């Protein structure tokens, strides 16, 4: 007589196919040929291309390839509609967003089946994950629209927004981008992925039903040429892109100097960390949701498994057993766990990476499963024995492939987790909440899930660090991506051009015994001679020589960046301690106010230099006050737990300071960066640098740790290029008014996708708190990390 286990092994799920009747009826209603949606009307289909079902390779429909003229018409329609959309008011926009949410729910099964047909993901995922979350985004942002006048009173809409999304979450990415953009008062030109355009076209229909005004939402389909036309269009005020890191770099270079606002959500290689005290069975289920959800075609997929050595073999055994029971099959079958890859091209890439790992001696485990004969399919795969530098350990595979390795200590786990150019997400599994919460801030990722995986909500921001991009989607921070501070509109058109000194050899007297009175650089808390042994003569407003300053070069910047990285203790210090240091700097500056005023007067010829000194002291107090008050938020998403949004420092920030108000401008940029825990490499005013070099003694007597602030004088153009090109600099701010120089910083930043904040050739009123202080500046000085913490389960 067979045992219970033997009987269970023979049992299997029966087929549970989802009907496609309504979806096929909708497609047939359109004769399976679609035009573009521009200005609330459908164009006749033009030159078309096929969108195919990944599960069997069969054509679903023909979709129009938009032209540059089509993009122009869409942008023009959006531009005409934008003033009226803003004038409708927050309540009017909220009503329409609410109607969209209701219609998504009403037609959820139609959307879910269409998404599964077009994308290849399982119906369980589209039905139970994608559609509810898409509707949730429109509900949530209807609330932001209603509250905009109260919560974002000092902001306005950006204008016309270009949005480009990938094929892995076609409808959900649409909701993530369109909902906040509409809520904030923007109008949209949206491009869905070439492989998966159909749910965006269905969404266009519900826009008509919901009463979205003409021109507010425009949807243009096609290949990368359409995206390129949107990126390059001068009528686009903001670009929001989700996709590969390589394309993100191209967009950053292309938009450099254009003034376009930019948010990039790019690739990932996310760690899934399992400690020895974790609930291993729960961790296995979390891993299934993390790497085999949507066939691993997820930017935040937990594709790097890090297991504590003491439980490594036990965990692998449980994982292999679970893999054996994963069902690969028809995406429309409600009992399928893994569907089809989006396209044969994706299959070829994944297969090549796995076989490359096999050739390198890695152990490959794939369960025995019969893959369908037609379509693009790949089995769940586990790779063991890869080195930390192996291609499969560093490259985003974007498929159902997991790379596993072990660690011994929490410190080693952090090192392995951060051993990547990406920084999108991470999972930490441990029954010790103290250990898990200690790990979360150390991992360089925008999202950290504790004892859970792949949790998302419209109230909780999502986005990455480093080469995973910048900007956030969801939450308050997601709304800010589609808004501009009103104070930006009041900025001066351009700063006054300063007179620059001439470069000469450091000692031109010819006397080898002459005392070198050149103002040196300030690196690692010490004064340092410039590497190139050159100096710059600084003359006063009356033309008379005042002093020489060191002429910094590439090596000086390198030394300053190294010193900044060594000063990591500044980022770990309490906000209270950082505030105390800034107060102390203000106190010591006040004690020497007359001296600094005299120097400013001599350099700039200002009639009332005392005003700038007093404003600088006041600004230091402002940033000291903010240091322990720029707190994060605690969200309550639908899951049973909380999400803590932490405002973290960006890291090492290079700052090129303005020539106007040289002391106040320097303080207004450097102090907020320091207040929230960044370490700074500052290039003071090229024309009037002595106010910054005179600060050395103030800094030395104010308990600022060496390396937290480093000052390198010299050519703004040359030093800015070096900072923007340096791979260990996390952000560059340039506010010296050089339009060409700002564009160069943005262009060079693409190499490591560092954040930038530039003046764009315009000036700034450094005496204005609205233009030069407050949350709008802190937004640039921080990045938000969302830590998901379940409880009671």
The owner of tokens 């994950």 is 129
Q: What DSSP character marks residue 767?
A: T
Q: What are phi and psi of 427, to 5 degrees?
A: -120, 140
Active-site residue (options: 18, 115, 299, 744): 299
List, in order, residues 6 or more apart from 106 with CB less than 8 Å away.
Answer: none
Active-site residue (options: 18, 115, 265, 744): 265
Cα angle: 383, vertex 384, 390; to 5 degrees:
80
At 778, list the tokens.
Answer: 């802190």
Separate counts of helices (H) and strands (E) for the chain: 30, 33
At 280, list the tokens.
Answer: 């291993």
Quickly list H helices, 53-130: 68-87, 89-106, 108-119, 123-125
The owner of tokens 């005013």 is 685
List, in order, residues 6 or more apart from 163 with CB less than 8 Å away.
Answer: 177, 178, 181, 188, 189, 190, 191, 239, 240, 241
At 315, list the tokens.
Answer: 């965990």
Count Cα neighbours of 697 within 13 Å in the Cβ-side half-sphere.
10
Strands 755-758 and 731-734: parallel
At 184, list the tokens.
Answer: 């904030």
List, in order, residues 6 or more apart from 545 with CB less than 8 Å away.
Answer: 537, 538, 539
**Is 300 assigned a catalytic role?**
no
Cα angle: 163, vertex 292, 422; to 5 degrees:
55
**Is 595 assigned a catalytic role?**
no
Query: 747 in helix, strand or coil?
Result: helix
Given a contact cutoff of 8 angstroms between Cβ atoms, the answer to whether 461 and 478 are in contact is yes
- Count of Cβ atoms closer than 10 Å to residue 559 Cβ: 19
HEC profile of 277-321: CCCHHHHHHHHHHHHCHHHHCCCCCCCEEEEEHHHHHHHHHHHHH
Residues across the chain: 793
At 407, list the tokens.
Answer: 């660690």
Long-range contacts of 39-45, Cβ-Cβ distance < 8 Å, separation of 24 or more: 39/73, 39/74, 39/77, 39/81, 39/214, 39/215, 39/218, 40/207, 40/208, 40/212, 40/213, 40/214, 40/215, 41/214, 42/204, 43/70
> How would DSSP label each residue in 484-538?
EEGGGGGS-SSPPPPPPPPEEES--S--TTS----B-EEETTEEE--TT-EEEEE
The owner of tokens 């990390």 is 785
For helices 739-748 and 245-255, what crossing angle results, to 10°? 170
Question: Rg of the Cα trace of the chain?
Answer: 28
Listed in order, strand segments (DSSP E) in 524-624 are 526-528, 534-539, 545-550
Q: What are phi and psi of 490, to 5 degrees?
A: -95, 5
Handedness of CA 575, 581, 587, 593 (dihedral sign): negative
Please name which of 276, 268, 337, 265 lies closest in space to residue 304, comparing C-alpha atoms: 268
Positions annotated as catalytic residues are 265, 299
């Amino acid at each position: 007589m067979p045992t219970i286990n033997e009987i269970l092994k023979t049992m299997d799920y029966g087929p549970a196919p989802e009907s496609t009747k309504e979806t096929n009826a909708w497609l047939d209603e359109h004769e399976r040929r679609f035009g573009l949606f521009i200005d609330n009307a459908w164009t006749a289909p033009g030159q078309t291309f096929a969108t195919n079902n990944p599960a069997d390779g069969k054509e679903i429909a023909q979709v129009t390839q938009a032209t540059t003229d089509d993009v122009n018409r869409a942008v023009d329609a959006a531009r005409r509609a934008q003033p009226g959309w803003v004038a409708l008011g927050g309540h009017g926009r909220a009503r329409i967003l609410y109607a969209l949410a209701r219609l998504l729910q009403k037609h959820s099964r139609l959307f879910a089946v269409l998404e599964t047909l077009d994308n290849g993901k399982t119906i369980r995922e589209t039905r139970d994950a994608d559609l509810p979350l898409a509707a949730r985004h429109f509900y949530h942002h209807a609330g932001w629209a209603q509250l905009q006048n109260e919560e974002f009173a000092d902001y306005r809409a950006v204008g016309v927004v270009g949005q480009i999304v990938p094929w892995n979450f076609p409808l959900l990415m649409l909701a993530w981008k369109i909902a906040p953009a509409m809520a904030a008062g923007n109008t949209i030109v949206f491009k869905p992925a070439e492989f998966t355009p159909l749910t965006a076209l269905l969404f266009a229909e519900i826009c008509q039903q919901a009463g979205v005004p003409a021109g507010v939402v425009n949807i243009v389909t096609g290949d990368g040429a359409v995206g390129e036309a949107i990126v390059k269009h001068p009528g686009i005020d903001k670009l929001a892109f989700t996709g590969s890191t390589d394309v993100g770099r191209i967009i950053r270079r292309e938009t450099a100097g254009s003034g376009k606002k930019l948010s990039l959500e790019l690739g990932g290689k996310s760690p899934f960390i399992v400690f020895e005290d974790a609930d291993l069975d729960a961790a296995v289920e979390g891993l299934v949701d993390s790497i085999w959800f949507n066939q691993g075609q997820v930017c935040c997929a937990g594709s790097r498994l890090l297991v504590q050595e003491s439980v490594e073999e036990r965990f692998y055994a449980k994982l292999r057993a679970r893999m054996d029971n994963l069902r690969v099959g028809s995406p429309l079958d409600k009992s399928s766990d893994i569907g089809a890859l989006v396209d044969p091209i994706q299959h070829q890439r994944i297969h090549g990476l796995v076989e490359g790992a096999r050739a390198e001696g890695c152990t490959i485990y794939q369960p025995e499963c019969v893959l369908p004969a037609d379509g693009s399919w790949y089995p769940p795969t586990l790779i063991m024995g890869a080195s930390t530098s192996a291609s499969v350990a560093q490259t985003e595979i974007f498929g159902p492939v997991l790379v596993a390795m072990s660690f011994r200590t929490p410190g080693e786990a952090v090192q392995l987790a951060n051993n990547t150019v990406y920084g999108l997400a991470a999972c930490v599994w441990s029954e010790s909440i103290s250990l898990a919460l200690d790990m979360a801030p150390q991992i360089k990722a925008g999202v950290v899930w504790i004892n859970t995986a792949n949790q998302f909500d419209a109230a909780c921001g999502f986005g990455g660090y480093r080469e995973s991009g910048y900007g956030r989607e969801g939450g308050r921070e997601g709304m800010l991506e589609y808004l501009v501070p009103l104070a930006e509109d009041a900025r001066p058109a351009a700063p006054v051009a300063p007179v620059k000194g001439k470069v000469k050899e450091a000692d031109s007297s010819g006397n080898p015994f002459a005392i070198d009175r050149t103002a040196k650089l300030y690196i690692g808390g010490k004064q340092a001679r410039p590497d190139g042994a050159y100096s710059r003569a600084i003359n006063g407003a009356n033309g008379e020589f005042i002093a020489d300053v060191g002429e910094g070069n590439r090596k000086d910047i390198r030394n300053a960046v190294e010193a900044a990285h060594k000063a990591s203790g500044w980022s770990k210090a309490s906000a209270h301690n950082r505030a105390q240091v800034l107060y102390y700097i203000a106190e010591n500056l006040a004690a020497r106010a007359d001296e600094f005023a005299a120097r400013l007067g001599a350099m700039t010829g200002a009639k009332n230099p005392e005003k700038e000194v007093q404003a600088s002291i006041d600004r230091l107090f402002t940033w000291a006050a903010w240091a322990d008050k720029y707190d994060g938020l605690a969200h309550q998403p639908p899951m049973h737990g909380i999400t803590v949004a932490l405002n973290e420092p960006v890291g090492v920030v290079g700052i090129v300071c303005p020539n106007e108000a040289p002391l106040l401008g320097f303080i207004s940029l450097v102090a907020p960066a320091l207040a929230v825990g960044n370490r700074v490499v500052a290039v003071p005013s090229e024309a009037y640098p002595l106010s910054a070099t005179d600060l050395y003694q103030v800094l030395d007597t104010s308990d600022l740790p060496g390396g937290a602030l480093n000052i390198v004088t010299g050519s703004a153009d040359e030093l800015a290029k070096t900072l923007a090109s340096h791979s260990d600099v996390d952000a560059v701010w340039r506010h010296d008014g050089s339009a060409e120089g700002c564009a160069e910083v943005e262009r060079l930043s693409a190499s490591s996708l560092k954040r930038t904040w530039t003046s764009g050739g315009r000036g700034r009123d450094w005496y204005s708190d609205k233009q030069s202080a407050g949350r709008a500046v802190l937004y640039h000085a921080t990045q938000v990390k969302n830590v998901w913490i379940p409880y009671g389960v």
